[in-house]
Structure 1
Amino acid sequence: MNRKEFFKDLGLLSAGICLGGTDSFAFSPRSDFEKRLVPVGRVLELEGYYVWCNSPIFDHEGKVHLFFSRWNSKKGMSGWINGSEIAHAVADKPEGPYEVKGTVLKPRQGYWDATTCHNPAIQYVDNKYCLFYMGNSNGKTNTKRIGMAISDSLYGPWERTDEPILLPGQEGEWDDHCTTNPAFVKYRDKYYLFYKSWNNKEYANQSGAIRANRKYGLAIADNLLGPYEKSKANPVIDFSKYGNNAQMEDAFVWLENRKFNMIARDMGYINHENGLLMHSRNGLKWSKPEVAYRATKFYFQQEQAPKHLKKYGRFERPQLLLRDGKPVYLFTTTQGGKYKTSSPFIFKII
């Protein structure tokens, strides 16, 4: 990008102008959150692997533990759906370097997570470490289900549920295709599990690169292990009203300043490169999105995309490292790097 192009794009974002072409896209300002981001760079580049879905947490000694998805690079980018495992790495500080400790969860033959383990989301809840994740049993999206593994220590051992903790809806409901992308908070002695899904009929009847329309639902439980009951307000986030098949995914939710906060990846509200930031008083009704982060070109330069990388130039799977409940680092995933696969890219939040 040259200097003229950079300031043109920067001016558009600063003015809150979006390119969707309808009244719904008329104002999406840069958030204070985005203005506080300082790019640090790539970490945990692993030869022979795609690395994705990086979920960080501090331990009681101040070390950073990173739970991440990885799969054999020979499978290509699509290997996440039929060969991902969840691994564990540790560093003395968020910037790394990270030491890989090994695999935490791998596919189990004969179970609901027989072909992939993906989307790790680590939480410390009720004096336990809880690792929410997505698995599937046939290497396809229609068996994606959310489950959980629990441990007394970040080093394991991990005991995972034999069955998913959240199933899709009945045929014809908005969420009858799958449950995936878990995001969790404990709120007023209740356990809130946000999840992504979409509708089978829409998926079957649409064509193109992005079929159906991803929405977010909420399920609430009285106990950590459930049962999780879906809210009658579902879907709690539905961008279809904005037109152009606008949607979002990869949500991370945290509680701060007496409200719910969500960071997620944009899928057409503004574009497919930005991150989005939203707020809610009750987890049911959410504010209009602001820009949480921008495309990779705004933060660092890299060589032209190799032909095998089709998601080049954007950050996905935003996850926050919290200290005392406040975000201090943003962990994302992006394609590229020295092995031309994918790896975490982190930002310090000042």
Structure 2
Amino acid sequence: MSAASKRALERNYHKNEEWFGHFRKQTLKGDFAYEPGVVRRDPSKVLFIDGLYYTWYSKSVGESYGFGTGDPDAKVFPWDKTQIWYASSKDGETWKELGMAVGEGQKGDYDDRSLFTPEILAYNGKYYLVYQTIKAPYTNRVKNQVGMAIADSPHGPWKKLDKPILSAADNGIWDGNEDNRFLVKKQGDFDSHKVHDPTLVIHGDKFHLYYKGERMGERTTAGGREIRWGVAIADNPQGPYIKSESNPITQSGHELAIWNYRDGVAMISCKDGPEQGTMQYSNDGINFEIMSYIREVPDAIGTVMSLDGDKYPGAALEWGLSHEYHIPEGKQWFEGYNYITKFTFKPNRGSKRSESVMVQKEKD
């Protein structure tokens, strides 16, 4: 038997047909249509409250210039100098921006430069926003943290916790003083440089804070960038969050969408790493197995919490929000702007789920 055939059997390529499907994307109306000079990106999960859909996202304005300008106040990337804003919609198609939810802190605070990549959790009558933060100055070697704000209403007011709920590991060593993130004497843990893209999921009676880790002196792997994810677990939504001894729990994922599926946790991975573009499942929220390979996974998926995600593996992805880049001609990616879009996901033809849907439609 060839090596390829052995891998196919070991990795169950011939199974899990109900986990396969395909995405489609579409533009949105209202304030989520592309707006020149404005960045709207990283939409959170979508909550359905009193007849309206709500989402939270990163917003900034103006051009981005990258590192090396010599001006510490110059905007570096589209997610630099951002705040957390929110919007609502009656139908998920036309969105109205409602204002800023959470802004940067006072000078000297851990979040005085930028807040971005939010996620939302509704629990016991309260709303919990988690997001990553940057403290000025924004350099190649800056270490970000994860903050939290809490409100009794989707409209706020939001009260920020005094301290971050998650920080990068402190066990790497830079080589020299040059502002170069690739020069290290010791790389440290998988999250020794960055903790990004936080998302909160309740699993069992615990709160799981999933996050992307970036390591000091990042290297290139079989799948490109050395990107992996970890989880920190707490007994209540405010923490304290303790990083799992099993971290990292993925070997890929520039961005992940994570949701409860039946008795476990499912995820889908976007870009970076040898397992990019996979849908995975875990009974315990820590040990994930690859269930399928999905092409063209949208960036920064925000799932819709009101969907019945237990109907079949991809049901939580039937529709949701993501973001796209608009890069002016002749510009680099970081000089572009983002706008929020919609995606849909459907099972592949021939799958058991697809066949059952077609039979039901014929009966109707």
TM-score between both structures, scaled by the size of structure 1: 0.74
Q: Which residue of 1 aligns with 2:338?
A: 342
Q: How does 1:134-153 map to 2 (within 5 A)?
A: 134-138=132-136, 139-140=138-139, 142-153=142-153
Deviation at residue 79 of structure 1 after TM alignment: 2.7
CA distance in 1, matches of 2:64, 2:14: 37
Q: Displacement of 1:34 after TM fit? A: 5.8
Which structure 2 residues correspond to residues 275-294 of structure 1 after superposition, within 5 A? Answer: 275-288=277-290, 290-294=292-296
The match for 1:175 is 191
Question: Which residue is 1:322 aligned to?
Answer: 305
2:98 is aligned, of 98, 101, 114, to 101
- CA displacement at 1:149 relative to structure 2: 0.9
Structure 1: gaps of 5 or more residues: 1-16, 18-22, 240-246, 296-314
Q: More helix by proportion, 1 or 2?
A: 1
1:228 aligns with 2:241: yes
- CA shift, 1:25, in A, is 10
Change (3 A) 1:341 1:42: farther
Cα drift, residue 83 of structure 1: 1.0
Measured after TM superposition, the shift of residue 81 of structure 1 is 4.6
CA deviation after TM superposition for structure 1 residue 71, in Å:
1.4
Match of 1:71 among 60, 68, 71: 60
Asked which structure has the greater CA Rg, the reply is 2
Of residues 56, 60, 63, the one that matches 2:49 is 60
Matched, 1:332 2:322: yes
Partner of 1:219: 232
| Residue identity in the other structure for 1:87 | W
The equivalent of 1:125 in structure 2 is 123
Counterpart code for 1:69: S
Moved over 6 A (4+): 23-26, 28-31, 337-340
3-state DSSP class of the match of 1:182?
strand
Cα pair 1:55 1:67 within 8 Å, conserved: yes
Rounded Cα–Cα distance in structure 2 between residues aligned with 1:285 and 1:345: 31
Q: Is the 8 A contact 2:46 2:302 kept in 1?
A: no
How far has the Cα of 1:219 moved from its partner? Answer: 0.7
CA deviation profile, 1:250-276 (whole Å, cap 9, x unmatched): 2221111212011221214377xxx43
**Distance of aligned partners of 1:28 and 1:264 in 2 relative to their CA distance in 1, 3 Å threshold:** farther
**Change in 2 beyond 3 A, CA 1:286/1:26:** closer
